[in-house]
Amino acid sequence: MATVTLVGAGPGDVGLITKRGHEILQSADVVVYDALVNPELLTNARRDAELIYVGKRAGAHSLSQEEINAVLIERARDGKSVCRLKGGDPFVFGRGGEEALACFEAQIPFEIVPGVTSAIAAPAYAGIPVTHRETATSFAVVTGHTASDDAPPDAIPAADTLVFLMGVRALPLIVARLMERGDAPQKPVALVRWGTRGEQETVVGTLETIEDEVARAKLKAPALIVVGEVVNLREKLRWFDNRPLWGQTVVVTRARQQASSLVEGLQKLGARVVECPTIRVEPLPETPVLDAEIPLLMRHEWIVFTSTNGVAHFFRNLDELKLDARVFGPSQVAAIGPATVAALRKRGIRPDFVPQSSISENVAAGLLERGAKGRQILVIRALEGREVLEERLREGGASVTIAPVYRTLPDHSGVEAAREQIERGAVNWVTFTSSSTVKNFVAAFGDEWVAAHRHHFQVAAIGPVTAQTAIECGLEPDVVAEEASVEALAAALMR
C-alpha cells in the first residue's frame, strides 16, 4: 500500500537502527535518505529500490524541505511504499513533524518509527551519561540554530546537562550566553563528532577553554555539544574510543558476501573499516565432476574441503539433489582452516583431519601420513585453485579427483572510495585474505599506483601463501596471521 514511513536511522552505528526500522528499509519501494544516514544502511534496501539522496546540512541543502515533502507525496501517489530514512530520531530536530504534516494534508497514510537519537547515543559512546544520580537529575536537548537564525534560542533551558544539536558554528554564542547567565567558566564541556561511528572524535574542555580546544583539534560539523558535570565521567566511562584498534582505518578486500565476520571483528576492536572487495564469489553454472561423484561419494577415502565457499556450494548441490550428509557414509573428511571446520560442523559434519597449517604441502603430507597413498581422494575447491595439493598427493601415490564448485571474479565496486582515502593518507592497513584478493587488488589499482602509494599503508596477510603472493606483487606484508582465520588476522593487527 502507498505509505510514507518516517524511520529513525539512529545516530550512525548501523547496529542501532530498530528492528521495525530495518524491516521497513528492507521492504520499501523508495528510500529517501539524509546526509547523516550511514551509507552502510542502504545496503539493506531492496536491489530494485529507488534511492533518493536529499542531504541536508547547515548551509548546504540538496533539496529544500518543501521539495523533500513533494518527493515523498509524489512517490506515494505513484503507489509506492516510501521509507523516509532520517538520522537519529525523526521527531528530535529532524523536521519529521513537518514531513508527517505534509503527508496528512495530502491524505497520504504515514507511519512513524522512532530512532535512537544522537543526543543520548553520541555522549554514551563518548563515555558521558546525560544523567547521573549524584550530578545530573535532568537534561535538555537544545537546537544549535533556530528556524530564523544560526543561533540557539534566546532562553536556554535550565537543566543539569545540556545537549546542543547542530551547534558547532554557534559554539562561541552558546558559550557566551551560558557565561552571561552565570554558568561557571570551569563548567565541563565536550564536543562529539560523528558519534557512534568509527570516525568518532571527542574534544573536552570547559566553557572557558572549549573554543580553543576545538580550534586546536580542527573539529568540524557534524558534532554535538554536551555541557555539564557529567562530562567529567568520561575518563572513567570511556569504552568505545579506547579499544585496541581505535584510530586505525582498515581496508578489507575480501569478497563482500564473506567479509561480514572480518568487518564485524575489526569494528568490535575499534577499527574503522573501508570495504573494498576485489573479488566476488559465484557458483559454477555447471559442476559435471561433482555431479558424477556424488552418487559414488562413499568410494572416496577422503573428501577435502579447502574453504567455506567449497562447503557452501557443495551442500547447495546436495540440497538440489534432495540429499544430505548421509551421502558421506564411511568417507573421512578433511577441512583446511577453522572457518571451514565451523562451516562443516554447522552442517553436521565433524572433520576427521584439520591440518595445523593451511599450506598445501603440509596438508598433503598430513593426508599421506594418514594412509592416503593408493586411496581415492576428492578435493572440493574453486575453479582457480592452486594445483600444489593435488600434485603432492599424486606424487605420494594417491588418486585425486578435483571437483570445482565455484569461481572467483574481479570486483571493483569499492575501488574508487578506497583509492581516495589511501591517497589522502586516511588508511592504516590493507588486509588480504587470499592470493586472489592480492592479485585483483593490484589489477584494480594498477602496478604503478600500488608502487607509488605503498608507503601510505601497511599490509596484513592471512597466511603464508597469501603473504608470498603479496611479496611477488610488490606488497610485502608488515604482519602475517599465524593461521588462516579472520580471528588470527585481527589478532595480528592488534599486535
**Residues acting as catalytic residues:** 34, 56, 166
Instruction: Name the grid cell of 14.
Output: 548501523
Residue 272: count of CB within 10 angstroms of its CB: 21
Residues 399 and 307 in one domain: yes
- Residue-by-residue pLDDT tens, the chain, 495 positions: 689 999 999 999 999 999 999 999 999 999 999 999 998 899 899 989 999 999 865 555 578 889 999 999 999 999 999 999 999 999 999 899 999 999 999 999 999 999 999 999 999 999 999 999 999 999 999 998 776 666 777 788 999 999 999 889 999 999 999 999 999 999 999 999 999 998 899 999 999 999 999 999 999 999 999 999 999 999 999 999 999 999 899 999 988 777 778 888 898 899 999 988 988 888 889 899 988 888 888 889 999 998 888 999 999 989 888 988 888 889 999 998 888 899 999 999 999 998 887 777 778 888 888 888 888 899 998 887 767 888 888 888 988 899 999 988 888 888 998 999 999 999 999 999 888 899 999 999 999 999 999 999 999 998 888 899 999 999 999 999 887 777 888 888 888
Residues 339 and 265 in one domain: no
| Structure confidence at residue 114 (pLDDT) | 97
| Structure confidence at residue 366 (pLDDT) | 86
Question: 208: buried, middle or exposed (CB in 10 Å: 19+, 13-18, 0-12)?
Answer: middle
Instruction: Name the grid cell of 96.
Output: 519529521
Residues 74 and 160 in one domain: no
Please answer whether residues 58 and 221 qualify as being in contact, where contact means their C-beta atoms are separated by less than 8 angstroms. Answer: yes
Please answer whether residues 167 and 225 qualify as being in contact, where contact means their C-beta atoms are separated by less than 8 angstroms. Answer: yes
Say how far apart CA 11 and CA 23 lie, in whole Å.
Answer: 18
Instruction: Give the Å distances, CA to CA, from 246 to 139, 250, 267, 269.
Output: 29, 11, 9, 7
Q: HSE of 353 in the Cβ direction (CA atoms, 13 Å)? A: 24
In a domain, 321, yes or no: yes
Residue 54 contacts by C-beta under 8 Å, 6 or more apart in sequence?
32, 33, 34, 62, 63, 67, 68, 71
Sheet holding 50-53, edge to edge: 50-53, 30-33, 81-86, 3-8, 110-113
DSSP 251-316: EE-S-TTTTHHHHHHHHHTT-EEEE---EEEEE-S--HHHHHHGGGGGG-SEEEE-SHHHHHHHHH
Residues 368 and 296 in one domain: yes
Q: How many domains does the chain have?
A: 4
Residues 326 and 217 in one domain: no
Residues 141 and 192 in one domain: yes
In a domain, 375, yes or no: yes
| Structure confidence at residue 256 (pLDDT) | 77
Please answer whether residues 295 and 321 qualify as being in contact, where contact means their C-beta atoms are separated by less than 8 angstroms. Answer: no
Question: 60: buried, middle or exposed (CB in 10 Å: 19+, 13-18, 0-12)?
Answer: exposed
Q: Give this prediction's pTM.
A: 0.78
In a domain, 205, yes or no: yes
Residue 202 contacts by C-beta under 8 Å, 6 or more apart in sequence?
126, 190, 191, 192, 193, 234, 241
Q: Which residue has the cell 588418486?
A: 399
Residues 355 and 335 in one domain: yes
| Structure confidence at residue 135 (pLDDT) | 92
Say how far apart CA 16 and CA 467 lie, in whole Å.
Answer: 37
| Structure confidence at residue 131 (pLDDT) | 97
Residues 286 and 399 in one domain: yes
E strand segments, 34-90: 50-53, 56-57, 60-61, 81-86
Residues 261 and 342 in one domain: no
DSSP 173-227: HHHHHHHHTT--TT-EEEEEESTTSTT-EEEEEETTTHHHHHHHHT--SSEEEEE
β-pair type (60-61, 56-57): antiparallel
User: Among 409, 442, 466, which residue terminates a domain?
Assistant: 409
Residue 422: count of CB within 10 angstroms of its CB: 22
CATH of the domain at 102: 3.40.1010.10
Residue 295: count of CB within 10 angstroms of its CB: 11
Residue 327: count of CB within 10 angstroms of its CB: 15
Residues 269 and 304 in one domain: no
Instruction: Tell how far CA 435 is from the center of its chain.
Output: 23
CATH of the domain at 212: 3.30.950.10
Domain that holds residue 38: 3-116
In a domain, 80, yes or no: yes
Say how far apart CA 301 and CA 296 lie, in whole Å.
Answer: 11
Residues 306 and 418 in one domain: no
Q: Is 85 helix (H, G, I), strand (E, B) or coil?
A: strand
| Structure confidence at residue 252 (pLDDT) | 93
Residues 204 and 112 in one domain: no
User: Among 71, 91, 116, which residue terminates a domain?
Assistant: 116
In a domain, 194, yes or no: yes
Residue 158 contacts by C-beta under 8 Å, 6 or more apart in sequence?
none
Say how far apart CA 163 and CA 459 lie, in whole Å.
Answer: 41
Residue 320 contacts by C-beta under 8 Å, 6 or more apart in sequence?
none
CATH of the domain at 435: 3.40.50.10090
In a domain, 7, yes or no: yes
User: Among 116, 144, 166, which residue terminates a domain?
Assistant: 116
In a domain, 243, yes or no: no
Please write the tens of the pLDDT for every residue from 175-229: 999 999 999 999 999 999 999 998 899 999 999 999 999 999 999 999 999 999 9
Terminal C-alpha separation, the chain: 53
Mean model confidence pLDDT for the chain:
90
In a domain, 422, yes or no: yes
